Amino acid sequence: MTKPLADKIRPKDVKDVVGQSHLLGENKILNRILSSGYITNMIFYGPPGVGKTTVANIIAKITNKKFYKINATNASLEDIKRIIKDLDSLMTLNGVLLYLDEIQNFNKKQQQSLLEFMENGKITLIASTTENPYHYVYKAILSRSTVLEFKMLTKEEIIKGLRRAIDVSKKDLSDINIEYDENVLEYIANVSNGDLRKAINAIELAIYSTKPNKDRGIYIDLSIAKECTQKKVLNYDKSGDSHYDILSAFQKSIRGSDPDASIHYLARLIKAGDLISICRRLLVIACEDIGMAYPNAINIVKSCVDSAMQLGFPEARIPLSQATLVLATAPKSNSAYMAIDLALNDLDSKDVGDIPIYLKDSHYSGANKLGRGVDYKYPHSYKNNYVKQQYLPENIKNAEYYIPGKNKMEQKVENYLRYIKNY
């Protein structure tokens, strides 16, 4: 069976690994681990096609432990038990190195089955995952492991890997002259979204699907590259890490008053078709990050959100863009958000005391006998519709929750409050 090109060019030495210089560069953590020969339990976390399996295979070659490799997607507890049965055999005298791919697909019981043997050193675990291990990996395994994050590859790193793939293909197809337009490599790198495996699969398809001419030569141009690449797929999973990462970047860009970045992250969310999450996040941003600086923002956003929900995609992108730009360019204030959180914190941490008796409900027979509402002062009966009286419970009568922001709207609010209180 012919091996895929991605497997043929898989590096055998760490110096040939594309990217991950923050881990594999000189004096970086993974480089030091490999140089020492002391292999500890590790969890490789990062998107697909960035070298996690490659590095695990390199580690397997430098250790004298028996190497096992299983994929949690289709493995079971029985697969783990079979490895455990081998632990005291002649083949495993130096212990076992277990590479567990996609560990997030193992449930708690399956992950727990490894703990005893990780503890006594009979199993050294290298696990990989595309999901945040702090959300999906059992805490006891996390505490016994070093988490190393693998980054998406840059365009330049992808192009470097593609050149190597083409060189290997030229050796395999020595009777065929392979030539290509330089724009092909840049295009494939751009649409591969940091995934070298995906990029290599595309160039492999381009090479093997192009019919040689009469001179036994093939030329890969941009049109062939476009045919051999799928539509660019962004890393996005509505129940996974990327979902929250993009929403976080979206909100922080709006909060930071960067309309261009805000629209960029909105575009990512639109590409994923995640209308509900966009609408929910826009509504909360209008109150959390703009709030009292532009109180009417929530009305505009609500109208845009309602329009988007009625229209659906693709037209929904237009009111969503409007709402995003309104929020990104609006004055900012988190005073409403801070005020309610301070008040809630007091409820959790203080004895706030009872409501003043004159503020309690007095709309029933016998309320006067209980003293309810007896000394209440009706503000509308006083000048400027204001009269000084204590509204907070006695225990927290001096508490301050609302602190007006330094924006035009809230400065007007602050001046108004000062005016009526000092009149």
Please indicate, yes or no, whether residues 24 and 143 belong to a single structural domain of this protein: yes
Asked if pLDDT for residue 22 goes beyond 60, the answer is: yes
In percent, how much of the chain has pLDDT > 90? 40
Separation between Cα atoms, residue 332 and residue 254, nearest integer Å: 9
Domain boundary among 149, 167, 192: 149
When pLDDT is averaged across residues 331-336 and rounded to a whole number, the result is 96
Separation between Cα atoms, residue 289 and residue 332, nearest integer Å: 6
- pLDDT score of 241: 57
- pLDDT score of 80: 83
Please indicate, yes or no, whether residues 171 and 269 belong to a single structural domain of this protein: no
Separation between Cα atoms, residue 406 and residue 383, nearest integer Å: 28
Which of 43-47, 125-129, 191-195, 260-264 has the largest mean confidence? 260-264
11 located within any domain? no
Asked if pLDDT for residue 304 goes beyond 80, the answer is: yes
Asked if pLDDT for residue 336 goes beyond 70, the answer is: yes
When pLDDT is averaged across residues 251-261 and rounded to a whole number, the result is 95
Please indicate, yes or no, whether residues 73 and 182 belong to a single structural domain of this protein: no
Amino acid at 105: N
Of 93 and 404, which is predicted with more confidence?
Answer: 404
When pLDDT is averaged across residues 94-102 and rounded to a whole number, the result is 86
Domain boundary among 127, 149, 171: 149
Band (pLDDT 50/70/90 cuts) for residue 284 is very high
Which tokens go with 370?
């209980």
Cβ pair 304, 278 in contact under 8 A: no
- pLDDT score of 191: 86
When pLDDT is averaged across residues 177-195 and rounded to a whole number, the result is 87
185 located within any domain? yes
- pLDDT score of 324: 97
Range of the domain at 374: 353-422
Per the structure, how many domains does the chain have?
Answer: 4
Amino acid at 113: S
Please indicate, yes or no, whether residues 77 and 193 belong to a single structural domain of this protein: no
340 located within any domain? no
- pLDDT score of 18: 87
Which tokens go with 314?
């693709």
Alpha helices in 312-357 (DSSP H): 317-329, 335-349
Please indicate, yes or no, whether residues 143 and 59 belong to a single structural domain of this protein: yes
Band (pLDDT 50/70/90 cuts) for residue 272 is confident
Please indicate, yes or no, whether residues 90 and 161 belong to a single structural domain of this protein: no
130 located within any domain? yes
Please indicate, yes or no, whether residues 26 and 129 belong to a single structural domain of this protein: yes
Across all residues in the chain, what is the average pLDDT? Answer: 88
Band (pLDDT 50/70/90 cuts) for residue 296 is very high
- In this structure, what CATH number is given to the domain that contains residue 367? 1.10.3710.10
Separation between Cα atoms, residue 122 and residue 87, nearest integer Å: 7
Please indicate, yes or no, whether residues 69 and 141 belong to a single structural domain of this protein: yes
Domain boundary among 149, 169, 202: 149
When pLDDT is averaged across residues 244-251 and rounded to a whole number, the result is 91
- In this structure, what CATH number is given to the domain that contains residue 192? 1.10.8.60
Cβ pair 253, 214 in contact under 8 A: no
Separation between Cα atoms, residue 81 and residue 222, nearest integer Å: 51
| Category of 283 on φ-ψ map: left (φ > 0), alpha (ψ -120 to 50) or beta | alpha
Cβ pair 268, 302 in contact under 8 A: no
Band (pLDDT 50/70/90 cuts) for residue 159 is very high
375 located within any domain? yes
Amino acid at 58: I
235 located within any domain? no
- In this structure, what CATH number is given to the domain that contains residue 64? 3.40.50.300
Separation between Cα atoms, residue 126 and residue 149, nearest integer Å: 13
